[in-house]
Structure 1
Amino acid sequence: MSLPIVIADDSLLARKVLTKALPPDWDVDVSYASSGREALGLYREGRASVMFLDLTMPDMTGYQVLEALQHEDLNTFVIVVSADVQPMAQSRVRSLGAAAFLAKPVTPEALLHTLKEYGLYA
């Protein structure tokens, strides 16, 4: 059975780049969100065992999504993908429950390393 994942980013280009970086043989069912609110909706539909989350989005930021997940005790594996690589941003997302942080643009190598590190890909 495919692993349901969500790629949440308001940039179509960023969503495409991340999709192309996924391991080609990783058995996943990908859903896309262009806002934080949409990402939460997909999670609530059971479509986000893993969520790739941008921090800067309209309507609801990645930080707000993480806060909602934490506040509502929702359980998904969140990998933040952001161009904001400041140590403060990385520390903040980890304190809000994100498991990992990847800098944009994501490379297939960096993504594969993270997926293997957390047991999401063998």
Structure 2
Amino acid sequence: MTTPITVVDDSAMARKMLIKALPSTWDVEITQAANGIEALDAYRAGKAEVMFLDLQMPEMDGYQALEQMRKEDLNTFVIVVSADIQPMAQERVLSLGAIAFLKKPVNPQEVEAVLKQYGVEL
């Protein structure tokens, strides 16, 4: 079964690198978003069973997007992907409902391990 995922980052290059790090056996339909507003639109349209979310973006950052999804009854797996690896940032996103925090650049094995940990079918 195809899994709808959304990759959110204001950098097109970062989105491309993350998409390349996804398991090759994973049957996905990928939506890309450049900020939190676009991420929420994809989420509301049912295109984000799994979301890879950057934190630092213009217009609406990852924290604000997580807060809004929480208000709307978050029902997606959100994996934060950020260069900001400070413990407080990690704690904050996990408290807002993210299931994991991966540092940039992403490691394909770490992506696969997180997905398997949460029972995502690859």
Q: Give the TM-score band, short-chain normalised.
A: over 0.9
Single out whichever of 83-92 and 73-82 deviates more from structure 2.
73-82
- 1:10 equivalent to 2:3? Answer no
Match of 1:102, SS?
strand
Cα distance in structure 2, aligned partners of 1:121 and 1:57 = 29
* Letter of the 1:5 counterpart: I
Deviation for aligned residue 1:42: 0.6
Task: Please give the residue correspondences for 1:108-119 in structure 2 after superposition, counting only pairs within 5 Å.
Answer: 108-119=108-119
Q: Would the aligned equivalents of 2:74 and 2:97 in 1 still touch at CA under 8 Å?
A: no
The number of residue pairs the alignment matches comes to 122
5+ residue gaps, structure 2, are: none
Cα distance in structure 1, aligned partners of 2:113 and 2:49 = 18
Q: Which residue of 1 aligns with 2:68?
A: 68
- 1:79 equivalent to 2:79? Answer yes
- 1:54 equivalent to 2:54? Answer yes
- The percentage of counterpart residues that share the same residue type is 61
Task: Normalising by structure 1, report the TM-score.
Answer: 0.96
Cα distance in structure 2, aligned partners of 1:72 and 1:110 = 29
Aligned-residue CA RMSD in angstroms? Answer: 0.9
5+ residue gaps, structure 1, are: none
Cα distance in structure 1, aligned partners of 2:112 and 2:23 = 7
Cα distance in structure 2, aligned partners of 1:74 and 1:42 = 13
Task: Describe the superposition over 1:21-45 as per-residue Cα deviations: whole angstroms up to 9, x where unpaired.
Answer: 0011101111000111000001111
